[in-house]
Structure 1
Amino acid sequence: MAKVKYYYDSETLSYRKIKRKKATTLKYAAVFLTAAALFAFLMVFIASQYIESPKERQMARELQNMELQYELLNKRTDDAFAALENVEERDNAIYRLYFEANPIPTEQRRAGFGGINRYKKYEGFDNSKLIAESNKRLDILEKAVVVQSKSLDEIAKLAEDKEKFLEAIPAIQPISNENMTRMASGYGYRTDPFTKVRKFHYGMDFTAPRGTPIYASGDGVITRADSQSTGYGNHIRIDHGYGYISLYAHLYKYNVKVNQRVKRGDLIGFVGSTGRSEAPHLHYEVFKDGERINPINFYYGNLSAEEYDILLKKASLENQSLD
């Protein structure tokens, strides 16, 4: 109940009620309402700053979870980079080195993307830097994987070429040791059996009975099987590619035809004594880029170390050749 206020009237010598003017009442009411509104606003402001709503709490949890996921993604990216670096190191230090290919520089493997800012769309968020950096690392990783994939494709092609090269090199003795009587003469200066003059002998002579099998010393194509070359009699030439050609002379007969493709170890002919020959034997030569080279360097394919050592000693003797 509102208090009633009085004042003393000296003229009437009595107390009279104080009557409040309507304007004053309205003024007090306005002040009260304003104060109440300000208080309510203040409470709402404080609540908004320090007390989270359910929706805000949910968004905060989602943001925290997103940050955790990006951290895990970065960890997985680190692991992927580590695994890729291991492959890259072997690629440069082993594979490409073995196949004589130039290593791929790190700048090329880890190159970014020039031009416009491709990560501009991630700007303006609370975690823009984290999101942009994660996407940038993923892009670099993806590009590095593509570079490595292309490198491995190149290595596979080089390996295939290397395998073909190793199969093509004339790397076995054209007559087996079981069928050979002896290694009669090697590469170098020898005495000519007809003129008795010392001259350079460009091949190796293997003595063997007439009809002894002769084998291709490497993969290739038969380019000649005739007797149209002076001194060689019936002879065969095989083009192995990579600049290598092997020649087999003084044959009794052929087992191949021109343009026929042969594999290392295929039977191509038989020992004879045609042409400029003193006795049945195989005269064998190897050409590299048009130059005749010592065939002794190409018998690692079917001789043991001991057999090769014996052959090397016999081939070094300066004796009389058979052609």
Structure 2
Amino acid sequence: MAKAKYYYDSETLSYRKIERKKRKTFKYATVFLLASALFGFFFVIIASQFFESPKERELARENQNLKFQYELLDKRLDDAMAVLENVEERDNAIYRLYFEANPIPEEQRRAGFGGVNRYKKYEGFNNSELIIETNKKLDVLEKAVVVQSKSLDEIKILAEDKEKFLEAIPAIQPVNNENLTRMASGYGYRTDPFTKVRKFHYGMDFTAPRGTPIYATGDGIVKRADNSSTGYGKHIRIDHGYGYISLYAHLYKYNVRVNQRVKRGDLIGYVGSTGRSEAPHLHYEVWKDDERINPINFYYGNLSPAEFDELLKKASLENQSLD
């Protein structure tokens, strides 16, 4: 129960009880409530400027984490681009140069995208600059990877063709060294064994006993295996492609047939002395684009440097040929 309050009345010289009117009480209560509400409202607004709610703290942490992840992604993109640039440099300076292909120009690898602003949707955020820059790097990297991938596909095709070329061209000696009696005559002017006249000898003569194995000097297809060419006797011609043909003459017998595909090192025939020949030997020729060239340049596949040097000395001697 509320305590009663009194005041002293000087006219009556007595204490009188204070009577509070209900209207005034209601007025005071209303003012108090409004003041409290206003105070609370301003307190919340002021406090929000200096204090974070749990939800705001959680969102702030998430934003900070996202920014950190974008920065990591940006760093990884820089690293990936550095690796790709190294591959591009080797692609232009080594691979494409080796296979005689034109380098890919930098403007083609880094060509812009053009058109409308593709990054407009990333504008208006706190970290818009970081997000836009990261997406630009990602787009550049993706395009560069596509260009490099197509380049490597082209290099792969060039490499396969180069491998076929290296397997096809004549690159070994047609008769093993241990089976040779001697290298009798080389490419150039020699004395004809029958007329004793000095004339040009278009091949190399390897003397060896009758029946000595003869090997294909490169991959190819046997185009001829007959004795219907003047002076060559029984002979074989292999088409290696790329304009190369090898010829093996004065054979004793064949070990291949026409249109047969052969690999380098396959046994194709045996040394003999058929046709215009003075003694058992192999007459060997190399043709390039219908021109006979010096076979001495095509023995890198199975001779050591010392053996090749010895062969070169013997082939350079102007002596008498055997055919």
TM-score, structure 1 length as denominator? 0.85
In the TM superposition, 1:83-162 aligns within 5 A as 83-162=83-162
The code of the aligned residue for 1:178 comes to E
In the TM superposition, 1:22-33 aligns within 5 A as none
Report the equivalent of 1:19: none
Report the equivalent of 2:196: 196
Instruction: After superposition, give the CA deviation of every residue in 1:120-178 in whole Å (9 maximum; x if it has no partner).
Output: 22222222221121122112222222222332333233222222211111111111122
The 1-side partners of 2:229 and 2:115 are apart by 67
The 1-side partners of 2:310 and 2:58 are apart by 87
Report the equivalent of 1:209: 209
Report the equivalent of 1:244: 244
Task: Quote the offset at 1:110 in angstroms.
Answer: 3.0
Instruction: After superposition, give the CA deviation of every residue in 1:88-114 in whole Å (9 maximum; x if it has no partner).
Output: 233233322222222223333333422
SS of structure 1 residue aligned to 2:246: strand
TM-score, structure 2 length as denominator? 0.85
The 2-side partners of 1:197 and 1:76 are apart by 77
In the TM superposition, 1:1-323 aligns within 5 A as 42-323=42-323
Instruction: After superposition, give the CA deviation of every residue in 1:260-299 in whole Å (9 maximum; x if it has no partner).
Output: 0111111101111222222221111001111111000111
The 1-side partners of 2:211 and 2:32 are apart by 131
Task: Quote the offset at 1:32 in angstroms.
Answer: 8.9
Instruction: After superposition, give the CA deviation of every residue in 1:49-100 in whole Å (9 maximum; x if it has no partner).
Output: 3332332222211111111110111111122222222322332333222222
The 2-side partners of 1:122 and 1:162 are apart by 49
The 1-side partners of 2:310 and 2:40 are apart by 110
The 1-side partners of 2:306 and 2:29 are apart by 122
The code of the aligned residue for 1:131 comes to I
The 2-side partners of 1:31 and 1:177 are apart by 122
The code of the aligned residue for 2:73 comes to L
Task: Quote the offset at 1:313 in angstroms.
Answer: 1.0
User: What root-mean-square deviation, in Å, do the aligned CA atoms of Structure 1 and Structure 2 show?
Assistant: 3.0
SS of structure 1 residue aligned to 2:121: helix
Task: Quote the offset at 1:195 in angstroms.
Answer: 2.1
The 1-side partners of 2:135 and 2:162 are apart by 40
The 1-side partners of 2:30 and 2:309 are apart by 121
SS of structure 2 residue aligned to 1:152: helix
Query: Aligned pairs, how many?
Result: 309
Task: Quote the offset at 1:237 in angstroms.
Answer: 0.5
Task: Quote the offset at 1:310 in angstroms.
Answer: 1.3
Task: Quote the offset at 1:188 in angstroms.
Answer: 0.6
| Structure 2 unmatched ranges of 5 or more | 8-26
The code of the aligned residue for 1:202 comes to Y
The 2-side partners of 1:28 and 1:110 are apart by 77
Instruction: After superposition, give the CA deviation of every residue in 1:191-233 in whole Å (9 maximum; x if it has no partner).
Output: 2222222211111111122221111011111011112222211
Q: Which range moved further: 287-296 or 38-47?
A: 38-47
The 2-side partners of 1:169 and 1:106 are apart by 36
The 1-side partners of 2:319 and 2:115 are apart by 75
| Structure 1 unmatched ranges of 5 or more | 5-26
The code of the aligned residue for 1:174 comes to P
Q: Which range moved further: 94-103 or 169-178?
A: 94-103
The 1-side partners of 2:178 and 2:197 are apart by 32
The 2-side partners of 1:33 and 1:264 are apart by 107
The code of the aligned residue for 2:157 comes to K
SS of structure 2 residue aligned to 1:292: strand
The 1-side partners of 2:49 and 2:112 are apart by 42
SS of structure 1 residue aligned to 2:247: strand
The 2-side partners of 1:242 and 1:267 are apart by 22
The 2-side partners of 1:208 and 1:183 are apart by 9
The 2-side partners of 1:30 and 1:266 are apart by 115
Task: Quote the offset at 1:246 in angstroms.
Answer: 0.3
The 1-side partners of 2:177 and 2:38 are apart by 114
The code of the aligned residue for 1:84 comes to L
The code of the aligned residue for 1:235 comes to H
